[in-house]
Every structure is written in C-alpha cells, then in structure tokens.
Amino acid sequence: MGIHTLAKGIDLIAAIQKLGIILDYHVISESPVKKGETHQAVDVAWFIDKEDTNYPIMIFEVESYLTNASAANPLKIFSKSNHYFEKPLFFFHIFVKSGDDPAVLKDLEYQYGRNNYRIYEICKGDLNKLILDVISQHRRINKYINIQGLMKLFNFGEYWEEINITDVLVHIENLYKQSWNEIFPIYADLAQQLPSMHNEFTRFLDKKMNNGFNCNDNYEDYIAYHFSNGIYLAVLFCVKRDNAYLFMFKDWQENSSYMEMIGPYFGLSRDYDEFIEDCSGAYLGMLAVLFKHQSDGVKYILKQSIKILERMKGHPDKIVFYNAIWALHIAATCDICEQEYNYIRDFINQRGKVNKHWIEEPLSALDNTTMDNNESHSIEYEYISDLETFRLEFGHSDIIDSKIYKQEAVSLAIRMLSDLDCWSERRSKPVPDQDCAKSWGTGIINCLHFNDNDE
C-alpha cells in the first residue's frame, strides 16, 4: 500500500468500502497482512464476517499511478507461504491512471495471472468490469446478493456514474437464475423508488416470461403472489403492443387451473372471496388500462367482470356497486363495448341510485371501514346515465399524450405488485402547489379515460 496522491484514488477506496458493506462483508481499510505488523497492509480487505479477520476473502489494492513499484502490492501477498498468509479468493489490482506503457501491466499479468488476480485500468473504462467481477466472486460464496443496496449505491453514491446498470443487473440475473422468483419482486419495489428501474423492470419481465419462468414470484401480498402473471402479460402488451401477449393472457386466465383464474368461484377460500368481492374491480380496471389499445382485450376483461357481477345479485349493495362501477368505467372507455355498458347500467339502476362520489372516484378496494352506498344524507345520489352522458360527466383525464399514459400505466401496475397500501387509498388528497395527489384507484380511472384522439 502506497500513499494515494489522487483524489480519485482516495474516493475509489471509500467507494469500495461502501460496496463491501452493502454486500455484507466485514470491511477493513489498511488491513495489515500480518496482525500486529503495520509495515505491510492492503488498501481494502473484505472478510466473510467480523468473527474471522485472520485472512481476507477479497483484497483490493488501488494505485494512483502505474510505476515499477506497483509489483510490490501483489508480491507481498502471493510471495508468502500459505502457513504465513492464506491466499484470498480474489485479488483486485486497480490503477486509477495506468499510463501508455503496458510493459509493467503485462509483467504483472504474466507473473500473477495464474492466481486469482486481475488488473483494472479505471482511466480506460474498467470500472464496470471491476463491478461485474466482484459480483462473480461474490456469487461463488454467497447465494444472496443485496440488489436494492447495489442499485441505490450506483444511482446515488459518489464515484459510480460510469456504471452501466443494465450490464450489472443482467450479470446478476445470469448468475442467480435460480432466484428469479425472488429477484423480480425486488425489481418491482425498486421501480417505485428509482425511475431508472422502470425500463429494467420491463426488460427483465420480458426476459423472464419468454424464458418460461411463469411460477409465482415471492410477493408477500396475496393478490400479487397469485395474480401477478396477468399483470405481467398486460404490462408487456402495453409496452410492446404485441397481440401475442393478449393470447398468453387469455391462456393464463382460462387454462392455468381447472377453473378460470379470476371468476365468481365463491367459497374456495376466504382470501379468494375477499379478492373477488373487494378488490377484483380495480384489478380488472388495471388490466383494462394496460390493454387499452387493444379493444378486443378490453372487451375480454369486461366479460370477466360481468361474469362476476351476474353471481353477485345476492351480495350487499356496496360490494355490487363497487364492482359494477369499475366495470362501467371499463365499458365507457371501449368503442366496441356499448352493449356491455348498457347491460351494466341496467344492472346498477335496478338496484337503485348510486353515491356519485363512488362514480367519480371508484374505491381501490372495499374493507370493513367502507360505509354503505347511502353513507350520508348529504351525498348526491343518481341513476347511471346513457353512455354519451356518462362520458361527458365522468370520462376525463389529465394525461396529455401516449408516452405519459404508458409511463403512468406501468407505474400503477408496478405499485399494485409492490405496495400493499395502494388498496387502502380512499380518495385523492390535496397537495401544496399541486392539483391533488391521486389515489391509486383514481390513477387507474385517469389512465382508463385517456383518449389518443385528444392528443
């Protein structure tokens, strides 16, 4: 270890220390090669844990400049007997500036390359290569990798501007293929926090589905765990506009089990009943948003909703109206669904007037705190009007173009997968200097009523 004269070298050492901590190593800087002896030390040493710090598992030596003395750093490790110093899993020799004469580097590679040793020239763009190699070595000893921590480090941490996030994630995906069902929920969670992860979410989703990885991903939420594949296929259609995803969605809905995935099959389990009665309206609305540019897809989703409604005639009004109002909005946004709209309209009107607030801002979900349709005498109630009048009164959207629609639609889908709280949002809330913060359900309605013809 020499004296680092370049600020970039000092910063790199600090960055490597943070990287090691995120990957759950015990990190020591200026770690002595032999305990109690300070005349030889390594810049950064990673240990498996703090209980065993005799020999590092990975060593990082950072050189500000390439000099003839650079050979001393690997020499102090590899020249010693195993009785004196057990060799690391890997030795990363990093040069901030390596100059134009490759002779010294060639000599180092020839001498130590047969060991687990590699050279990285930061000035020539090797930072990305360094990270990929660190991840490869990490995989040799650990089945877990902290993707959340890495992505936040590379997005917000100093020194990592040159890192190609896609390269890093693809490398992780290839090394941890057996953990894809655990990785994907992490991507969904990160996509909520980091806008840069939206494209990575859809990229990996496409890769995952086209590689036949259709098993349920490890979401904690019942709905996301059991019904995420429907959302996945709809997201891919929204992004790629490929009708093959609609056919795949229909196959998932109709052929995944002895019954349809989403239908009026009451009594299977309490969780399933609660999903169909209290949440499926917004779930089907989310699907309709994602299939918005495929009228046949929207009509197919609407038919699933009508099947459920037809088996709800004996349910309480608030359950019927919740599901029927969502179906009504879906029908009102589809040019080929006027017949379905009229059927749902008559279905509702036969039961009576509806709370107007429920029409304007359909609830994301029902729960025990949801009051009945006639929750207050001060609320305005009305029968459902004809399609043209309904569109004029309730069919509004502040989305101005297809690009924003697509971004909003995918964001809402990601939130459904990764944020359980979205189901409990009741109303849009005022926000200083903004019109309002839309609830998740209102965001779906806003996307549903976006009209390309208004662009």
Which uninterrupted H or E stretch holds 324? helix 317-332
Q: Of 213, 216, 189, give the one whose Cα is nearest residue 200.
A: 189
Cβ neighbors of 234 (< 8 A, separation 6 or more) are 245, 249, 286, 287, 290, 291, 413
Interatomic CA distance for residues 405 and 289, integer angstroms: 9
**3 pLDDT exceeds 50?**
yes
Average the pLDDT over 413-437 and give the result. 75
In the prediction, which pLDDT does 430 show?
47
Confidence (pLDDT) at 115: 86
**Range with the poorest average pLDDT among 97-101, 247-251, 256-260:** 97-101
Residues 7-142, CATH architecture? 3-Layer(aba) Sandwich (3.40)
Average pLDDT of 182-188?
94
Q: What is the pLDDT of residue 104?
A: 83
Contacts of 336 (CB under 8 A, 6+ apart): 295, 296, 299
Which residues are within 8 A (CB) of 171 and not within 5 positions of it... i.e. 6 or more apart?
Answer: 132, 135, 136
Q: Please state, in angstroms and rounded to a whole number, the distance separating the CA atoms of residues 32 and 122.
A: 25
Res. 345: pLDDT tops 80: yes
pLDDT at 56: 93
Tokens of 21: 């901590």
pLDDT exceeds cutoff 80 at 133: yes
Chain-wide mean pLDDT for the chain?
90
Name the band, by pLDDT with cuts 50, 70 and 90, for residue 106. confident
Three-state DSSP class for residue 381: strand
Q: What ranges in 23-99 are assigned the alpha helix state H?
A: 72-78
Q: Tell me 350's DSSP state.
A: T
What does the pLDDT read at residue 158? 79
Given a cut of 90, whether residue 308 has pLDDT beyond it is yes
Question: Which H, E and C letters describe 174-194, residue by residue?
Answer: HHCHHHHHHHHHHHHHHHHHC
pLDDT value for 455: 53
Share of the chain above pLDDT 90, in %: 70
Beta carbons of 31 and 76 less than 8 angstroms apart: no
Q: Cα(185)–Cα(414) distance, rounded to whole angstroms?
A: 9
Nearest to 98 by CA among 117, 113, 115, 119: 119
Q: Mean per-residue pLDDT for 327-339?
A: 97
**Residue among 237, 287, 241 nearest 262 (CA):** 287
DSSP state of 55: S
Where do the structural domains in the chain lie, given as residue ranges? 7-142, 219-449
The answer to which of 49-58, 182-191, 329-338 has the lowest mean pLDDT is 49-58
The answer to whether 17 and 30 are in contact (CB under 8 A) is no
Q: Which residues of 106-130 are buried (b: 16+ CB within 10 A; e: fewer)?
A: eebeeebeeebbbbbbbeeebbbeb
Residue 369 pLDDT > 70: no
Q: In DSSP terms, which residues pair with 47 in a beta bridge?
A: 26
Which class for 425: exposed (0-12), middle (13-18), buried (19 or more C-beta within 10 A)? buried
- Residue 146 pLDDT > 60, yes or no? yes
- Predicted confidence (pLDDT) at residue 374 exceeds the cutoff of 60: no
Which pLDDT value is given to residue 431? 46
- Mean pLDDT, range 18-34, rounded to an integer: 91
More confident residue, 26 or 53: 26
What does the pLDDT read at residue 377?
Answer: 46
> What interhelical angle do 280-290 and 317-332 show, nearest 10?
10
Residue 213 has pLDDT above 90, yes or no: no
The model's pTM is 0.88
How high is the pLDDT of residue 438?
A: 84
